[in-house]
Amino acid sequence: MAMVGLRFSFFSFIIAVAAILLANQATANDLCADASDSRICRALVKGKTDPLQAAEYIVYKLIEQTKKAKDKASKLDKNQNAKICLKSYADVISNLNQSLKDLKKGDKGSTEDKLSSVIASIESCQDAYTEENSTSPLSQHNKLLELIADTCLSVYQQAH
Model confidence pLDDT, tens digit, residues 76-135: 988 899 999 999 999 999 999 999 999 999 999 999 999 999 999 999 999 999 998 889
Return the closest-CA partner of residue 58 out of 137, 113, 118.
Answer: 118
The DSSP-derived string for 111-124 is HHHHHHHHHHHHHH
Q: Which residues of 106-127 are buried (b: 16+ CB within 10 A; e: fewer)?
A: eeeeebbebbebbbebbebbbb
Write down the pTM of the prediction. 0.80
Q: What angle do CA 63, 144, 105 make, to 5 degrees?
A: 35
Confidence of residue 22 (pLDDT cuts 50, 70, 90): very low
pLDDT score for 26 = 40
> Amino acid identity, residue 60?
Y
Calculate what percentage of the chain has a pLDDT beyond 90: 68
Sketch out the chain's domains with CATH numbers.
Answer: 31-158 (1.20.140.40)
